[in-house]
Amino acid sequence: MIKVVIAGTSGRMGQALLEGIFADSELQLHGALDRADSPRIGRDAGEQFGLATNVIISADVDKTLCGADVLVDFTRPEASMGYLTACEKAGVKLVLGTTGFSLEQKKQIEAAAERIGIVFAPNMSVGVTLLINLVQAAARVLADGYDVEIIEAHHRHKVDAPSGTALRLGEAAAEALSRDLQSCAVYGREGVTGERDANTIGFATVRGGDVVGDHTVLFAGIGERVELTHKASSRATFALGALRAAKYLADRKTGLFDMRDVLGLR
């Protein structure tokens, strides 16, 4: 039985993760974390599901991690870096689905993976993981004469843009095309922009309503377009992928992995 701690249990992803654990006989909810000012602090983590788990939601990270195998975190970068440090200290593995990290923070995550096992991916969906591989394959075939544009849409509450998934798709395309995404990405267009530079990769962002997550990678050539699209209708897909990643880490003490490792797509 894998002992799992969930961070951000009052959030939308936290709730989906709890539901996923309660339905999985291989996983045991060991602890539940939330911010100190959450009204759910001190309540049973299973309360909203009609369950009495005896796992009390807490803001005490070190105490909650004691005896755990893995922490699953989909919160915010600043909170996640604190969880990362606590996991290193406790020797607890980490499944990290948070997005919006800076380059320096990503380097800290890579360094931590020398001491604990980490699955780090901006999107834990099986479908999106497959999409990353499809984008790379398409980019290699459509390397000449096709413009690459990435369009993503999320709910009105998402705080970072473009989404981490969109950026990962851009990285996949750039890698296949032997480009550096940092230097070729275009994140916004307004006014008289001039003709499109054929070597750029464009990003367009939509925010509104309750959209869980839509991503399209467009390869636009002369006379035809190839579009690769993934649409998520439920956060359960991300939760199930993350819990699958937690199982993957069971026999891996150290190392930095992503969902392609988890699914055997490398």
**pLDDT for residue 83 is more than 90:** yes
In angstroms, what is the C-alpha Rg of the chain?
19
Cα 154 from Cα 206, distance rounded (Å): 6
Which one, of 71, 11, 15, 18, lies nearest residue 35 by Cα? 11
**Span 114-118, mean pLDDT?**
98
**pLDDT for residue 122 is more than 90:** no
Which two three-digit tokens encode residue 106? 């990503």
Residue 14 has what pLDDT?
95
Residue 266 has what pLDDT?
76
- Asked whether 5 and 228 are in contact (CB, 8 A), the reply is no
Mean pLDDT of the chain: 96
**pLDDT for residue 222 is more than 90:** yes
Considering 89, 106, 155, 158, which one is annotated as catalytic?
A: 158
Q: What is the DSSP string of 51-93?
A: -----BEES-HHHHHTT-SEEEE-S-HHHHHHHHHHHHHHT-E
**pLDDT for residue 119 is more than 80:** yes
Asked about 30 being catalytic, the answer comes back as no
Residue 18 has what pLDDT?
97
Task: For residue 27, list its beta bridge partners.
Answer: 2
Can you give the pTM of this predicted structure?
A: 0.83
Residue 265 — pLDDT band, cuts 50, 70, 90?
confident
Residue 46 — pLDDT band, cuts 50, 70, 90?
very high
In the DSSP assignment, the letter for residue 196 is: P
**Span 122-145, mean pLDDT?**
95
Residue 257 — pLDDT band, cuts 50, 70, 90?
very high
pLDDT tens, residue by residue, 165-207: 999 999 999 999 999 999 999 998 999 999 999 999 999 999 9
Crossing angle of helices 126-141 and 164-176, rounded to 10°: 30
- Start-to-end Cα distance in the chain: 27
Amino acid residing at 52 = A
Cα 71 from Cα 240, distance rounded (Å): 14
Cα 91 from Cα 70, distance rounded (Å): 9
Domains present along the chain, CATH in parentheses? 2-120+235-262 (3.40.50.720), 126-232 (3.30.360.10)
Asked about 155 being catalytic, the answer comes back as no
Q: What are phi and psi of 68, to 5 degrees?
A: -80, 160
CB count in 10 Å sphere of residue 237: 20
**pLDDT for residue 124 is more than 80:** yes
β-pairing, 213-220 with 185-186?
unpaired
pLDDT tens, residue by residue, 21-45: 999 999 999 999 999 999 999 999 9
Which one, of 239, 234, 172, lies nearest residue 24 by Cα? 239
Q: What are phi and psi of 228, to 5 degrees?
A: -110, 120
Considering 30, 93, 154, 230, which one is annotated as catalytic?
A: 154
